[in-house]
Amino acid sequence: MKRPDKKNIVIFASGSGSNAQRLLEHFERHPEIRVAALFSNNPKAYALQRAETYHVPALLFSRDEFYNSDKVLRQVQQFKPDLIVLAGFLWLVPQSLLHAFPDKIINIHPALLPRYGGKGMHGLNVHTAVVQAGDSESGITIHRINEEYDKGEFILQEYCPVHPEDTPEELAARVLQLEHKYLPLVVEKLLLEKDEL
Ligand code: GAR
């Protein structure tokens, strides 16, 4: 009997790509899911090298190509994505991509949305704001995306403590551990339509 094709993930990443790395590792030998490609807007993104290490196509695009042409859309379509994962991707996704892949694009955010979201709220900016607010708890939000930054239906939130003496960097490290643990599990759950993580 012919085996069904694997499901395809396409990753978008703008920076270091440690979350992309977790997906690359987790799905490297997965029987049902593969990382088909990684796209980046940043020529210096270490995420590009991580993809190449795993022999996954790494594609770079410019702002003009992303917002003023259908080049990126056509390239993404070639990989037949079942899910697109924004893993530290910092640009707003254009309508053309949203319409081509309704409900198939998810984002990971390093805080408990709806707080600490929106334009400019990424990386250390988020953790600095949480520490300055004196919150006792932070965490991650994995959510579907729509045409606004950090909005869209929540899929999962996980929590961690914020200690009074935490620096933003210390909090970032604690939150990143949660991201690395849960992102592959959520992707797997969505693609395999599992009830549990
Ligand atoms: C992650 O913490 C991710 O949640 C965040 O960027 C970091 C990327 O790290 N994303 C956002 O802030 C989106 N608003 P990584 O490049 O090591 O995966």
CA distance 189 to 98: 21
Tens of pLDDT, residue by residue over 57-97, are: 999 999 999 999 999 999 999 999 999 999 999 999 999 99
Q: What is the pLDDT of residues 153-169, one digit of tens each?
A: 999 999 999 999 999 99
Q: Which long-range contacts (CB under 8 A, 24 or more apart) does 93-97 make?
A: 93/12, 93/145, 94/66, 94/67, 95/147, 96/70, 97/72, 97/73
46 CA: nearest ligand 1 atom: 16
Three-state SS for 93?
coil
The rounded distance, in Å, linking the Cα atoms of 195 and 3 is 23
Q: Which residues pair with 39 in a beta bridge?
A: 12, 59
Q: Does 37 map to a domain?
A: yes
User: Rounded CA gap, 47 and 21, in Å?
Assistant: 8
Active-site choice (26, 30, 99, 109): 109
User: Is residue 188 assigned to a domain?
Assistant: yes
Our answer on whether the CB atom of 15 is closer than 6 Å to any ligand 1 atom is: yes
For the CA of 20, the closest atom of ligand 1 is 18
Encoding tokens for residue 171? 């909090």
Q: Verify whether residue 109 is a known catalytic residue.
A: yes
* Distance of alpha carbon 46 from the chain centroid: 15
Q: Tell me, yes or no, whether 17 lies in a domain.
A: yes
- Tell whether ligand 1 has an atom less than 6 A from the beta carbon of residue 143: no
The answer as to whether 163 is a domain residue is no
176 CB within 6 A, ligand 1? yes
Atom of ligand 1 nearest to the CA of 107: 13
Residue 167 in domain: no
Does residue 64 belong to any structural domain of this protein? yes
Which residue did the predictor score with more confidence, 4 or 65? 65
- Would 30 be classed as within a structural domain? yes
Buried/exposed 122-151: b ≥16 CB within 10 Å, e otherwise = beeebbbbbbeeebeebbbbbbbbeeebbe
Q: In total, how many domains does the chain have? A: 1
- Does residue 2 belong to any structural domain of this protein? no
CA 153 to chain centre: 15
Tokens of 57: 């196509």
**Is the Cβ–Cβ distance between 56 and 79 less than 8 Å?**
no
Which residue range(s) make up the domain with 28? 7-114+141-158+183-192
Q: Which pLDDT tens digit goes with each residue over 127-184?
A: 999 999 999 999 999 999 987 777 899 999 999 999 999 999 999 999 999 999 999 9
- Indicate which CATH number applies to the domain containing 48: 3.40.50.170
Q: Which residues of 52-88 are buried (b: 16+ CB within 10 A; e: fewer)?
A: eebebebbebeeeebeeeeebbebbeebebbbbbbbb
Q: What is the whole-number distance in angstroms between the Cα of residue 16 and the centre of ligand 1?
A: 9
| 152 phi and psi angles, rounded to 5 deg | 105, 155
